[in-house]
Structure 1
Amino acid sequence: MFGPPASAALLDLVGDPVLTLRADLSALRANPAAREWLGADAAEGWRLLRQAAGTRLESWLREACHAIDAGRAPPSAPPLKLADGQRATLHLLRDRPNWLLHAHLSAADPSEPPLAEWLALLPLPALLADAASGSLLRHNAAFAALYAGTPRHLNDLPDLLQALLGWHRGMPLPALTAQRPQDGPLITEAEFVDPQGQQRWLQARLRLWRHNGRALLLAVLEDHSTLHERDLAHQQLDALMDTAAVGLATFQPEAGWLKAHRKGSPFKTGAKQAVNSLQGINRDIVEPSSLPEFERLQRALKKGDAVEVRYAVRHPELGRRWLLTRVAPGLLAGGRRSTSVVTLDVTAQAQAENALLLRAESERAVLDSVLVGIVTVGPEGIEWMNRSARRMFGCELEDVLGQPMGVLAPEDDEHAFHAEPGSDVFECRLRGRDGREFWVIGNAVQTPREDGPGVTSWQTTYALLDIDRRRQAEAQSRLAQASLARIIEGAPLAITLHEAQSLRIVKLNHAAATLAGRPEAAMLGGTPAQLFGDEQGAQVVADMREALESQTVVQREYHVPAGGSTRIWDARLLHLAGVGGDDTPELLLLVASDVTEQRAAEQARLQAAISQRELLVREVHHRIKNNLQGVAGLLQQIAARRPEVAGVLKEAVGQVQAIAQVYGLQVGAAGPLVLKRVFDAIVGSVQRMQGRVLTTTAEGGALLNDWCLPEAEAIPIALSLNELLGNALKHSNEAQVRCQLICDTTGVTVEIANPGHLPQGFLLQNVRSGVSGLGLVRALLPRRSAILSLEQQGEDVVCRLELIPPSVVHNPATKPSSG
């Protein structure tokens, strides 16, 4: 409904913004200059401008419309001051049935503050919004980085960001509106997650600026995340100093010691600390042997060098202690030098060394309890055996003490016990003293040993693990694998194994070769395309790559031509990663089964269910229609007996008949109803009920059968047409009523004209929702895809109902029109 193409093209050539307005002054069309002024959605931009301008603009629009329709000169438009400092001068022209609004934009006053420049220079997120309407007037790039998208209203921002800006349920917070000029800004804080997923602790400083009856919301946001992290780091550092035996201090050359550690000295006796800070560790308590290292520490502190020094001190109460001091120089944010000094009491390390010596004595007790057989052999023969080795060989240590390791092995010169021990792992067969034969896996480690001053010998330690049960398990596993291979070969499922990188076939069974139509030997090393055909090859490769990445079973169906028919194969793909150990290459398993007959049976059952459902739905619609017509008949009988309510019942009968018409049309229809059929049925119903003839026309050609009503919208729109036609007949004073159905590529328009006059100052938006008339129509019509207008054109009142998708949809039985 954009008017003649020629006039629309001329408006697009105008350099100033020009809007085509409907009768209710909402934006119908915008030229390029207007879209640049108001945004890509010019209709929404015009609505926000009217809302922000307030009553001055609305009053002028109404007065200008009345003056132009009366043939008088319209009053001058109030100047509009825009957010970027520009001014707009408006002119209204009549272009029936619409209006043309021309806007002349003038440059900003150079004497006014350059708000856009200030916002661009401000590094903190900042915005300017209309406090009454919530429209976003200006904001800088730092604020735009806090959210995704391009909101034009405070309500479009995330809820947490609205709360930060003092905006709640479409209005400013009471604490913000109660601000006085002498009060400071309102400060809010919250933890906010930005579009990049980073958590920020934001603080907003808010203020309402009132000028000439208009209230603007000014907001500046600060990121306090670093301050919170610093405070948290201080808390963690304090907790660390409270719980660890660590001394910490900060030294600056120009200021000396700034902050001593929380612990003071790492030495304490009860609640009394022997030294208050690092400064307390002086030369007097340092051991003479450690004085050079202590002097090196003092020089590093003075020069600000990094150093790590270990030295001993003689504490008057605790005795001799060892300290380790680390000096780490650094630079503060202002460029000042600072040095962190950490001192540790490492006396415990010496105590730990002594403890290790004590543990060495208990190692044999530990080794005696492990499940691995351990035998120690020295130059003189076997020296020690743990309990597992004694049990393994069926003897006691006394039986083999001092004998060579070969006494525990069969007579074989190549046996590991007879050869020189090496570092490799060996596997051999042994026979115990009790006659039991078994397999072991083990290794031998040679270590030097001091037998006296200047005397070094070698000690060999054997670690042996009984693997006889593992050998038996491996034999059983080989038998099981052979059985599984026979089962796979005889299974009716097509099974293949593919190399993970190239997807080449490395193994397949007879069913898979039958699927490919080639011998098994010819398919080894083949590609997925050779298995399922060239048409499916690319899709099969993509599905295999997905299975390799997902690590889960991927199910797909492939349609493979077979002779004159097509077979359906249900395939499962699974990534076999690390099944055979780290040295085993990664494989992909494919298992496919022929489900052609199963899918055909399922499709047949589905079609039968759909047919039964459609039959039941048609029967239900037919019964509903008959019942509604019965209800309408009862209401008509009541109206005949009760004349005082005949008018109300007649209106209800018309509504019931409209609903019955829709259900009647749905009896023989499959899918959405053709709008032209619904229109004709409602017109016929209204003519029968009112006893009058309506003049109807239809424009659109083939498009008349292209536009349909969805099932959810059929009854509301049918009732709306019934009410609009009945309303036109009611107020026409027995004069002729004209009704026109217009279909084009963008939607459907129903135009109803009847002689009469609208009340003075009538506005459609002021009509309240109700159960009849325009109130019922406004309650039934969808908000975004149906536009209702009512205007005075000469001696006629013209009602226009515009329907666009999704209130109307294209007929699935016809090809949608292009354009």
Structure 2
Amino acid sequence: MDSWALALIFAGLSLSLLAWYAGRRHERGRQSRRLAAVLGALSAPMPVAFVAWAPRSGVVLWSTAAERLFGVDATLMLGQALPAELEALRWTEVEADRARSGARLQLRGANGAVDAMVWMATEADGLVVVAIEDVHSSAANARAAEVARAQRDALVREVHHRIKNSLQGVAGLLRQHLSDKPLLKPLLEAASAQVSAIAAVHGLHGEAKDGRIDLRMLIVRVAASISGIMHVPITVSERCVVLERFSVNEEESVPVAMVLNELIMNAAKHRSRSGANGIVAIDAVAQAQRAQILVSNPGFLPANFDFGAGANLGNGLGLIRSLLPRRGASIALAEEGRRVVATLVLHAPDVLSATPQDEEAIA
């Protein structure tokens, strides 16, 4: 158990018991069992056993974990003298001081000897509060929890992998009809690319052991999918490597993938095919908490184009406006020379998670 959490719980129990024990004797007698029940319930989920006793009142707290550790029900212990199993806790004053920061002891538990870490606080009128942790049990629980997490993560990755395969199958079926249904080709291309973008998200989930969706890899896979569907040359700049320090937050992963898909598809559909530079290019700039993805194509913006106001957008850019995360994301489109540049800006922590760095990385 984390030491700070144990310290917090231990302090709370000690103060509660001390406040009760400092009251008048007849009030203590009337409230002791109710207080013990409340404190026992509070400590029930804890793997650490909590026990408290006083010279005149006997045992006043015997937590659920203490019941498990020593095999004795709390109803049999409250008000009784300290049991033989805990005689080792009758420390001298010097030993008690040492036990405030934790001492290792051998105690007698329900199933034999218990190798325990023990923390103790001695309060007014001889009230003693003790926390007892079974060292071997805690280590075993930690190992079991780690195994359970690994199994869960493996299962989650397998589910994502299967979803990706299914979505890729759907995208493949849509692409089969591109040649025999020319009138539906734009719709089939758009639908196939959208399904493939979602498949890319699940594919990255299925590959990442830590659950991270690498922003650069998401861009690379969406771009490769669109290039294959539309037979358009798309280049991803080497400068995009700076995006590897960012991962897309899980709840925003599908919207971001869809926005990237629509931006790249829009650039591919509206690019000018004349000249040797008729390619779609993807570039990037990264700061400490912000990533900029630049998607450009040869061409010009329509007359009276206004992305912010939603004027002359077309279906693709209209869909982008509806998909864009409300916080931590923005898009701007502008003409630069003979190219149209769409700049998608994503911020941490709303949309992205960034690995800490001492200095800003700028491509």
Give the counterpart of 1:763 among 268, 281, 306.
306
Structure 2 letter corresponding to 1:511: A
Structure 1 letter corresponding to 2:351: S
Equivalent residue for 1:608? 147
User: By how many angstroms is 1:593 displaced?
Assistant: 2.4
> 2-side partners of 1:589 and 1:768: how far apart?
75
Aligned to 1:699, what secondary structure does the other structure show?
A: helix
Q: Kindly tell me: are residues 491 and 597 of structure 1, through their superposed partners in 2, closer, same or farther at Cα, counting changes over 3 Å?
A: farther
Give the counterpart of 2:341 among 772, 789, 798.
798
Structure 1 letter corresponding to 2:99: L
User: By how many angstroms is 1:769 displaced?
Assistant: 12
Give the paired residue count: 275
User: By how many angstroms is 1:668 displaced?
Assistant: 1.8
Q: Check whether the contact 2:193–2:261 (CA below 8 A) recurs between aligned residues.
A: yes
Q: Superposition pairs for residues 390-789 of structure 1, below 5 Å?
A: 488-493=81-86, 510-513=87-90, 520=91, 522-523=92-93, 526=94, 529-532=97-100, 536=101, 560=103, 567-569=116-118, 588-669=127-208, 670-699=210-239, 703-734=242-273, 735-767=278-310, 772-789=315-332
Equivalent residue for 1:807? 351
Q: Check whether the contact 1:768–1:775 (CA below 8 A) recurs between aligned residues.
A: no
> 2-side partners of 1:817 and 1:651: how far apart?
41
> 2-side partners of 1:631 and 1:678: how far apart?
19
Q: Check whether the contact 2:271–2:279 (CA below 8 A) recurs between aligned residues.
A: yes
Larger Rg: 1
> 1-side partners of 2:85 and 2:154: how far apart?
41
Any gaps of 5 or more consecutive residues in structure 2? Answer: 1-54, 59-76, 107-114
> 1-side partners of 2:131 and 2:333: how far apart?
65
* Residue 816 (str. 1) matches residue 328 (str. 2): no
Q: Check whether the contact 1:790–1:798 (CA below 8 A) recurs between aligned residues.
A: yes
Structure 1 letter corresponding to 2:213: L
Measured on the aligned residues, the alpha-carbon RMSD in Å equals 3.5
> 1-side partners of 2:359 and 2:286: how far apart?
14
Q: Check whether the contact 2:306–2:313 (CA below 8 A) recurs between aligned residues.
A: no
User: By how many angstroms is 1:642 displaced?
Assistant: 3.1
> 2-side partners of 1:647 and 1:709: how far apart?
29
What TM-score, normalized to structure 2? 0.66
What TM-score, normalized to structure 1? 0.31
Equivalent residue for 1:155? none
User: By how many angstroms is 1:755 displaced?
Assistant: 1.9
> 2-side partners of 1:678 and 1:562: how far apart?
54
User: By how many angstroms is 1:608 displaced?
Assistant: 2.2
> 2-side partners of 1:754 and 1:636: how far apart?
24
Equivalent residue for 1:463? none
Aligned to 1:759, what secondary structure does the other structure show?
A: coil
Equivalent residue for 1:431? none
Q: Kindly tell me: are residues 624 and 770 of structure 1, through their superposed partners in 2, closer, same or farther at Cα, counting changes over 3 Å?
A: farther
- Paired-residue identity, %: 31
Q: Check whether the contact 1:570–1:595 (CA below 8 A) recurs between aligned residues.
A: no
> 2-side partners of 1:511 and 1:762: how far apart?
82
Aligned to 1:764, what secondary structure does the other structure show?
A: coil
User: By how many angstroms is 1:779 displaced?
Assistant: 1.6
Q: Check whether the contact 1:769–1:775 (CA below 8 A) recurs between aligned residues.
A: no
> 2-side partners of 1:640 and 1:753: how far apart?
28
1:257-279 deviations in whole A, cap 9, x for unaligned?
Answer: xxxxxxxxxxxxxxxxxxxxxxx
Structure 2 letter corresponding to 1:618: R
Moved more, 704-713 or 799-808: 704-713
Q: Check whether the contact 1:700–1:744 (CA below 8 A) recurs between aligned residues.
A: no
Aligned to 2:308, what secondary structure does the other structure show?
A: helix
Q: With CA pairs under 8 Å and 6+ residues apart, which has the higher RCO, 1 or 2?
A: 2
Q: Kindly tell me: are residues 730 and 588 of structure 1, through their superposed partners in 2, closer, same or farther at Cα, counting changes over 3 Å?
A: same
User: By how many angstroms is 1:645 displaced?
Assistant: 1.7
Q: Check whether the contact 2:289–2:354 (CA below 8 A) recurs between aligned residues.
A: no
Q: Check whether the contact 1:769–1:779 (CA below 8 A) recurs between aligned residues.
A: no
Q: Kindly tell me: are residues 753 and 618 of structure 1, through their superposed partners in 2, closer, same or farther at Cα, counting changes over 3 Å?
A: same
Structure 2 letter corresponding to 1:780: L
Q: As a proportion of its length, which structure holds more strand?
A: 1
Any gaps of 5 or more consecutive residues in structure 1? Answer: 1-477, 494-509, 514-519, 537-558, 576-584
Q: Kindly tell me: are residues 655 and 804 of structure 1, through their superposed partners in 2, closer, same or farther at Cα, counting changes over 3 Å?
A: same
